[in-house]
A and B are shown apart, each in its own frame.
Chain A
Amino acid sequence: MPLINFATKEINCKIVYYGPGLSGKTANIKWIYDHIRPENKGELITLATETERTLFFDFVPIEVATVKGFKVRFHLYTTPGQIIYKISRKLILKGVDGIVFVADSQEERHDANLDTLDDMLNNMKELGIKFEDTPLVFQYNKRDLPNILPVEVLRKDLNKWNYPDFEAIAIRGVGVIETFKEITKLVVQKLKK
């Protein structure tokens, strides 16, 4: 749920990167954090295990100032992808304003993509978040690896609703900014309405 404060002239929106384990959700927001101007970013918080797998969430606030003095702050979150963290994923979706679904393009991870998409839809339903009203962008990540599925297959199986989608190699920044720009654009468009 967006929060608008007319006294402090701030608009806050929550964007969640959702996807199966090791699909590159953290790689996306780390790349954004590393390449964004220092004055536009807050602290990157990573709640991870010793082996750098996300345990609860990663978080970074990104701020955009407008000419008339309003500041829009996008709170970027990732979810833990591993199956055992189902409850944590649901907690992080609370109050979400936009979702990036990061899919793993490798054939052997396609089942995990499908399971995680089902998990996301179930969690949204349980939280009372209307899927059709929520801005959503798909990202097909790891396009540089061997044994990847064609984009047409990923699109057909995952993006049945024709939401905007992007190919990416998140670890090298390919497609990361495009994905981020699209989801922020959709969230702002929804605010306008």
Chain B
Amino acid sequence: MLSIRPEEDKKLREVLTALCSESRAKVVFLIDKAGQLISRSDAPAYTSNDITFASLTAGNVAASEALSKLLGDKTLNHAFTETEDEGIYMSLLDRKLILVIIFEKFASNLGIIRVKLKKYRPILEEIIRKIERKSEQEQQIGKEINFDEIDIDNLFE
């Protein structure tokens, strides 16, 4: 279980927003390999279905990793998808998480993205390691959330 506290969420958002701004990207997402969104940069002008985007990106990276293994490489470091106007750059953090940077091709390019990522990668990896260490020690999650309130019966019409 990975649990993110408000102060950790704030820190992650700040770093992702700084990376987004300095690399002139539209938005930056941090997701896990199971397809769950962990955090994202502030990007008021950008709207998307983040949940679906995270799931499809994780699927894309998983398939690329499998292709890499088929070719005899043990690891995949990054993957790039290009649309007519936009670039989607996916890079693995600590081999566990996926950093996704979406940029418009007229505003930025892969070179800038990679240079700025080099600067912020160690900072992000350190924050994530701290969150993981803390999550391992936490025992009280079940007491902080009242799981009995979850009402599945009312979900259906």
Contact = CB atoms under 8 A, between A and B. Distances in A.
Interface of A: 1-8, 11-12, 14, 35-37, 40, 42-43, 45, 47, 56-57, 59, 61-62, 64, 66-68, 70, 72-73, 75, 87-88, 91-92, 94-96, 177, 180-181, 184-185, 188-189, 191-193
A59 B36 contact: no
B127 interface: no
A64 B150 contact: yes
Interface string B21-42: 0000000000011111110000
Nearest to B49: A43
B5 A7 contact: yes
B3 A177 contact: no
Nearest to A11: B145
Contacts of A11: 145
A4 B2 contact: yes
B59 interface: yes
26 contacts: A1-B1, A1-B32, A3-B1, A3-B2, A6-B4, A6-B5, A7-B9, A14-B34, A35-B157, A37-B154, A43-B49, A45-B56, A59-B52, A61-B52, A64-B150, A64-B151, A68-B145, A68-B146, A70-B145, A75-B35, A91-B59, A94-B33, A94-B62, A184-B150, A185-B152, A192-B147
Given A5-B3, A45-B56, 4 more contacts: A12-B36, A36-B155, A42-B49, A59-B56
Interface string B128-157: 000000000000011011110111111111
A107 B63 CA distance: 34
A6 B9 contact: yes
B123 interface: no
B109 interface: no
Given A1-B34, A4-B3, A59 B149 contact: no
